[in-house]
Amino acid sequence: MESVKEIEAKTIKLEVLEAIMHSGLALHKQRHGENGSDGEDPKQFHALGHLRTTIGRAEKIAPVFDLSKERVALIKMGLAWHDSTITYDKPTDRDNLLTMIIRHRGAREGDGKWGANGNEAVSAKSVEDKMRAAKIFSKAEIDIIRWGIDATYPDVRMGENFKGIEFKKYAYYEVATSQNKGLKEVISKLEEEGITKGFLFSQPHLEKALEDGKSVPPEVIITGLVDLEGVGYAESEEFSKEGDAEMRELYYNIRQQGVMENLAKNDSEKDVENRRKVSEAFLKWQDGQPCFGVWQAIRFEKIIYLLKKSNQIDLKKETELRKFFSHYLENIEQALKRAKNSRTTYEKKSREKNEKEAFISLARSVGYKI
């Protein structure tokens, strides 16, 4: 039985964890906003809602691992800070509407161009400093939070000539499709459409440890899963909205004041050409969403397989995790359907009405307010 002193210490710790979490949320709101138009540097996807979404998902998943209130609070605190710093290179050519921002990704040395000075590293250090200042957290707790945020660092492989990586050539393809027969069927349907590859977004600081057979704390597993696996967790409408928001955030020039309004109003030769290019970019983004879904479904199966192999989850935990991440197949199929319908609708409106109306309709469908 716990002593009064031990209970008081736990209560104080939970209060400190909650305070640090709320300070992270407040900082994020100040920096990146809440609704896509406020904050010092407004974000379309990585606004405050992203943090609240990941925190909510983590709270629901935590019982799978029988975590204490204190350990759940640790996860929530880490998630509140995991995107606190989002620095990036803005497009230098404002006339090229389709140049994307380049985020300064990096958690550790060797992570792309920015390595240990990247966004994930700086975000992790910010919350580490808060934890050390509180003087009640162990080194193990601080290390877990650091690893959790490291796990959110996304590596991307785009393949030769940026044409994607083939699903069937991935080392864990057979494992994934043997564990999930439905995934194999969905990939076969994509093949019938000529889709066999896509960009592979992974989380090396989670996956490499599992590949090496290391024990990974549940806090790290949960943090990694909730940050990148909306395609498995969310229903199709939410997944589509998340993807649209990420696209709008990346296309920095398009969301600058007056750009979309001018595209929807003006009829110069340049405006007509820009509408065509932007429309095709939106459609190609949607074309890529089923592929993104396939890769994340394969990765989920890989993570489950490696956790089982190292005896870090049993059948009960696996079954419970699968209940939370049960939307991969639906979202892949719905994303394919949406992409095809969007293109058909755009082309039909261009023929039967005019290209401007087709553009406006498409832009509104992916979240632009015009």
Instruction: Tell me what pLDDT residue 153 has.
Output: 98
Q: For 64-80, b where at least 16 C-beta lie within 10 A, e where not — what string?
A: bbebeeebbbbbbbbbb
- Cα-only R_g, the chain: 22
pLDDT surpasses 70 at 9: yes
Whether the Cβ atoms of residue 149 and residue 106 lie closer than 8 Å to each other:
no
Share above pLDDT 70 across residues of the chain, in percent, rounded to a whole number:
99
pLDDT surpasses 80 at 36: no
Strands (E), the chain: 88-89, 102-103, 155-157, 165-166, 197-198, 200-202
Helix (H, G, I), strand (E, B) or coil at 40: coil
Question: How would residue 341 be classed by pLDDT, with cut points 50, 70 and 90?
Answer: very high
Q: What does the pLDDT look like over 49-77, one tens digit per residue?
A: 999 999 999 999 999 999 999 999 999 99
Selected residue with higher pLDDT from 1 and 331? 331
Give bridge partners of residue 102 from the DSSP assignment.
89
Selected residue with higher pLDDT from 132 and 7? 132
Whether the Cβ atoms of residue 248 and residue 368 lie closer than 8 Å to each other:
yes
144 closest CA partner among 85, 79, 100? 79
Q: What does the pLDDT look like over 136-175, one tens digit per residue?
A: 999 999 999 999 999 999 999 999 999 999 999 999 999 9
* Distance in angstroms (rounded) separating the CA atoms of residues 285 and 44: 16
* Distance in angstroms (rounded) separating the CA atoms of residues 69 and 75: 10
- The number of beta carbons lying within 10 Å of the beta carbon of residue 191 is 12
pTM reported for the whole predicted model: 0.95
Contacting residues for 174 by C-beta, under 8 A, at least 6 apart? none
Instruction: Tell me what pLDDT residue 1 has.
Output: 66
